[in-house]
Structure 1
């Protein structure tokens, strides 16, 4: 019995947003969302979600622990536009206003296995000192209307940002039917990955002078 070739390949991503380190603010929560290219489609799982609120730990680490899980499966026929996860962390400032504490983005690992990523977060900066003072007094800090902007290259060159804090994420990645599309995902820690498998080369005999081709 012949088995028909698959029409798509699958990428399953599970894991959790573990914790964050921020010098300022308290009562932190985050929104996460996944974004991918036009050829990608979500099969199962939540594409975006909001976490619970975490307070700063009382030990010497001074971290915010969420341990918030995620589980999502994509299908596609083209690896271009590989999925990314985007985090928007919010918290309360000195005056009790809810403000943005940091943005960050990360590509889903492109080989199967378990991974841990420590991502540096950043916040947009005001264009002038006067605007910075007004935003601090009113509690209306600069933030992106669409957080997916940080996963794109277009428009980022005119944005002023400042590093602030970090977030730790763990990924568990599983893939299916990549080899049937001619892609070699490789194993964890090995290269190359997502490389098109080379086609067998045909040997060609070049005739010498005075001889004609057969």
Structure 2
């Protein structure tokens, strides 16, 4: 069987309206991909930077080891970013995803995020109460089938460093 190791760090985020952020993340892979070691999902801590600092720092580690019999369904990393207000409430700030690079080595990746815009009423609720519209199915984050119908608002970026190690693909005639 072929193997893929993903080791890295979710460094932080920038470009969001407010800096008190945390992120939920998950690796998503197709059928035929099995996790041997590591956690395929998790959540960062909430970073509260100084008044003048608009960059959120997480430095959260990721480490997952896959085996596979196919290259179909190559892993992706999906994110949900939340802002925590002074009352401890979490408001959705964005969704985003990135494909795990297919080339071995260390990669610096920026994940562009977005959130659903919703109707005018939803936007008024979001402004006064922090109740932003959310997706009913998280599959829309990484699956493009119905995403084109959504009206979205661009949010900030998540920055990560991911090292990819591949093993055993050449035995099956796949060169990465």
TM bracket, shorter-chain basis: over 0.9
Q: What's the CA shift string for 1:34-91, capped at 9, x where partnerless? A: 10111111111101111111013455x5200001000001111110110000011101
TM-score of the aligned structures, taking structure 2 as reference length:
0.92
> Is the 1:88–1:104 contact (alpha carbons within 8 Å) kept by the matching residues of 2?
yes
**Which runs of 5 or more residues in structure 2 are unaligned?**
none
Aligned to 2:95: 103
Are 2:68 and 1:50 equivalent residues in the alignment?
Answer: no
Equivalent of 1:33, from 21, 26, 33?
A: 26
Shift of the 113–174 alpha-carbon distance from structure 1 to 2, 3 Å rule, reads same
Q: CA deviation at 1:119?
A: 1.6
Give the structure with higher Rg (CA). Answer: 1
> Is the 1:27–1:92 contact (alpha carbons within 8 Å) kept by the matching residues of 2?
yes
Q: CA deviation at 1:137?
A: 2.6
Give the structure with the higher percent strand. 2
Aligned to 1:199: none
Are 2:144 and 1:153 equivalent residues in the alignment?
Answer: yes
Aligned to 2:71: 79
Equivalent of 2:161, from 148, 163, 170?
A: 170
The number of residues matched between the two structures is 176
Aligned to 1:211: none
Aligned to 1:198: none
Tell me the secondary structure at the aligned position of residue 70 of structure 2. Answer: coil
TM-score of the aligned structures, taking structure 1 as reference length:
0.77
Following TM superposition, the consecutive aligned residue runs of length 4 or more in structure 1 with deviations greater than 3 angstroms are: 93-97
> Is the 1:57–1:63 contact (alpha carbons within 8 Å) kept by the matching residues of 2?
no
The structure with higher relative contact order (CA 8 Å, sep 6+) is 2
Tell me the secondary structure at the aligned position of residue 74 of structure 2. Answer: coil
Alignment partners' CA distance in 2, 1:94 and 1:160: 29
Considering only aligned residues, what root-mean-square deviation do their CA atoms show, in Å?
1.8
